[in-house]
């Protein structure tokens, strides 16, 4: 009787293994391709972030602006994976290329007034004017699977109705968790040969 039970159990186990091997596999497709819609959504998010940082600074000063900028940088940029290729519009000298999170914070809100980290003691991009409107206009969008490039303009309007139109080049990457984040940010002023 015991031999029959053992034999029956062995046959049942063999059938179970055979059923697993011969059944259809579970297929999951991991698409890391970035779409044009996602590129546009990320650019709109960047514009919204600029307005939020500027507003936080206007209402709460440097510390409020910096806190908002840090949250934006940690969400929008991929600094947690390493340096970012980051070039502000009017940066010069040693501060031209800012590959660190701290350099990006200085771009948005200016250097921390309590430390001597940067020679340029000017206010940041989002704090020297109170930006109230931000739009983007892409002239080129290149989709390369899990990365994408854009080149165009960001049109900003301040609380006095004055505009600025810096030229932006961005490279985005899709992370394995699905997030699309910035790994290259290059900004320049329109060229004036006069």
DSSP-derived pairing of the beta strands 180-188 and 85-87:
parallel
Question: Is the CA virtual torsion 82, 55, 153, 122 positive or negative?
Answer: negative
Q: Using one digit for the tens of pLDDT, what is the confidence trace for 166-183?
A: 999 999 999 888 899 999
Q: Using one digit for the tens of pLDDT, what is the confidence trace for 3-62?
A: 555 455 555 555 555 555 568 888 876 778 999 999 999 999 999 999 999 999 999 999
CB 151 within 8 A of CB 168: yes
Rounded to whole angstroms, the Cα distance separating 125 from 109 reads 6
Domains of the chain by residue range: 36-188
Q: Using one digit for the tens of pLDDT, what is the confidence trace for 99-135?
A: 999 889 988 998 766 555 444 456 788 888 899 999 9
pTM, two decimals, is 0.78
CATH number for 36-188 (one of 1.10.3720.10, 3.40.50.300, 3.10.450.50, 3.20.20.140): it is 3.10.450.50
Q: So what's the pLDDT on residue 95?
A: 78
């Amino acid at each position: 009787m015991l031999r029959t039970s053992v034999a029956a159990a062995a046959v049942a186990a063999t059938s179970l293994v055979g059923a697993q091997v011969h059944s259809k596999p579970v297929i999951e497709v991991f698409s890391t391709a970035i779409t044009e819609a996602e590129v546009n959504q990320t650019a709109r998010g960047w514009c919204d972030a600029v307005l939020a940082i500027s507003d936080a600074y206007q209402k709460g000063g440097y510390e409020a602006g910096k806190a908002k900028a840090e949250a934006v940088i940690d969400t929008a940029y991929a600094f947690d994976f390493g340096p970012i290729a980051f070039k502000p519009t009017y940066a010069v000298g040693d501060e031209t290329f800012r590959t660190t999170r701290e350099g990006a914070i200085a771009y948005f809100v200016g250097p921390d007034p309590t430390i001597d980290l940067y020679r340029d003691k000017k206010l940041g991009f989002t704090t020297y004017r109170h930006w109230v409107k931000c739009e983007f206009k892409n002239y080129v969008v290149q989709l390369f699977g899990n990365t994408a490039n854009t080149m165009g303009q960001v049109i900003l309007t301040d609380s006095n109705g004055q505009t600025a139109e810096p030229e932006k080049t961005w490279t985005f990457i899709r992370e394995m968790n699905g997030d699309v984040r910035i790994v290259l940010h290059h900004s320049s002023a329109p060229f004036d040969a006069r």
